[in-house]
Structure 1
Amino acid sequence: MKAGLWTAPGGAEQPINVFPIGEGSLHASSGSLTAVGALAKLATLDSAELAKRCPNAIDLLSKVVAAIASQKTDVPTRLFRLANLDDLERNLIADILGQGEVAGFVALPDGSLAQIQESALAGIWHVRLEIDASHEYLEVGAIPEIVKRAAADLTAADFKIGQAPEGAMNALPVLAEIRERALAWRPSIRSQIINFTLLPMSPVDMSFLHDTIRNGPIQLVSRGYGTCRVLSTGIRNVWSVQFFNAMDAIILDTLEVGGVPTVAIAADEDFEDSAERLQEIIEAYFK
């Protein structure tokens, strides 16, 4: 099978550098409890003592339950900052929420990164900005707002198509189609997919295509049924969506014109399920 649109030179797989944020990243500076130590400490406490030791965590989780129970994909997300929690409470929340299928990062204009990790309860996200520890929060919604904002901040849906290099076959008509669809797309329009797996595109075509639409600031990986890599391009509303098999070979290579691809976002039914599961977890821990 031919190489995909986003691969390293020579056909080698281009790894995506995802910085997971979970138990190991929630401990504070030296001298405080590590994540492992905090979780071991939590295991020794009964529900009454746990509630007494972690009041801010319980309050935050109760607010998250209320938020996700009423959340919809078409309404703004809700943020819950973690700055007022101590180490024990942060690690309790990390233990309860776990890590889900979607993770990745957003490159911010100042050169820093925003790391995102979906929890095991779909629609509840852990977001951390590199700036400092106070910029760390849980977010309830289909996808963290910072992802949508970074996608919307891309300069334009229009782009210049240069002279096709020697050996190109179909790059020019494909680029013209991408530009037309990107310019025409509106939130009320369904996303449109261009499937490179089925197109007769040469390596020269793919290289020219990549050089024209460029890389964007968002990289996401979904590890549900197999692995899916979602990358924003340098063109607004245009995304690379690639699916891999167990051998890390690309089995489906597409460009998607539209909003954030659905493979990375939570749905309304996810919110309902997560609210129910989180409520059950809270009752098991604290009651």
Structure 2
Amino acid sequence: MLDKTKEDTGPSHDALRDEVRALMEREGLTQRHVAEESGIAYGTLTPYMGGTYQGNLARVAGDLQRWLETRRERSRTAAVLPAEPDFVLTPTAEEISGTLSFAQAAQDFAVIVGGAGIGKTRSIKHYAKRASNVWVLTAEDSMKKPSSLLSVLAEDLDVSERRNAFLSRAISSRLRGTGGLVVVDEAQHLSTEAFDQLRTTVLDVGECGVVAAGNESMLARLQGSADKRAQGFAQLHSRVGMRKVQSGAKIKDVCLILAAWGITDAQSIALLKAIARKPGALRVMAKVIRLASMLAGASAADITKAHVERAWAQLSSQQIDA
């Protein structure tokens, strides 16, 4: 009778293990990384890689081969996609940085409101990298309750207290005296109660600057309306020490970023400027540039009007009004 275990641990499995080990060493991966990416249980992958697994070897090998092919395909795609330029200090980025700096230095409440894709998040991350004691949270629907917001903030601040009754006080104590800044990106997701908790815990008791960054819906709520919920936000509006409001990308922002990409073709530039005026602004423009470069099989500097048009057609059904 054929020894199934001996057959399945033969040369093909050895070669597969060697290929996986080589990739792990080349990319600095651990077996746990491989297990997570491949969907193979860590307790299965470890004995398989050690040559001692007694289960369904063919199934594990198939999963590993699919994972390797996925990695290879990803590498092939990445090789033809140009990397985005390093952070570009546009006029908008400078203004956002100034707002963040004010809130931190003055220990005040500031608001940054802008349309999608104008560079809010990248500018915030850039500021956080070069300034001390800046904590950035990205709000989501699950953080509407004040307790949920405080739990996320406590984790970012390495506050060990987990009892709700003492959490706000522990966060305030952690922040006080740091001269720091708490930035909440996508703050339009916060409820009035969560916003008020942020103000109390961080600004009033923690004596730490706060910046809320979000879209135009947040501004409308802050300014107030007949809506009762919006009126609750309006009570916070009087606490705003500085605000930056911008609906779309500035033309100078667009020009500086196109220059950073190395794009000089006049027709391509005209189309990309028109794309930057659409919803999504600079973010969508960058996607078009990367896709156009892939379609051209060239760097961003070499794309033409035709490449931009093809890329846009794959991303949107709208016409480009150049």
Work out whether the TM-score is over 0.5: no
TM-score by length of 1: 0.22
TM-score by length of 2: 0.20
**Of the two, which has the highest radius of gyration?**
2
Q: Which structure has more helix as a fraction of its residues?
A: 2
